[in-house]
Amino acid sequence: DAGVIQSPRHEVTEMGQEVTLRCKPISGHNSLFWYRQTMMRGLELLIYFNNNVPIDDSGMPEDRFSAKMPNASFSTLKIQPSEPRDSAVYFCASSLEDPRNEQFFGPGTRLTVL
Partner 1 sequence: SQQGEEDPQALSIQEGENATMNCSYKTSINNLQWYRQNSGRGLVHLILIRSNEREKHSGRLRVTLDTSKKSSSLLITASRAADTASYFCATAFGTSGSRLTFGEGTQLTVNP
Question: Which residue ranges make up the site for partner 1 (CB under 8 A)?
Answer: 4, 31, 33, 42-43, 45, 48, 50, 55-56, 91, 93, 98-108
Closest distance of CB 76 from partner 1, Å: 18
Among 63, 46, 52, residue whose Cα is nearest residue 111: 46
Closest distance of CB 75 from partner 1, Å: 15
Task: Give the SS3 label for residue 4.
Answer: coil
Closest distance of CB 35 from partner 1, Å: 8
65 vs 90 by CB, closer to partner 1: 90
Cβ atoms within 10 A of the Cβ of 74, count?
15
Residues ≥6 apart with Cβ < 8 Å to 51: 30, 72
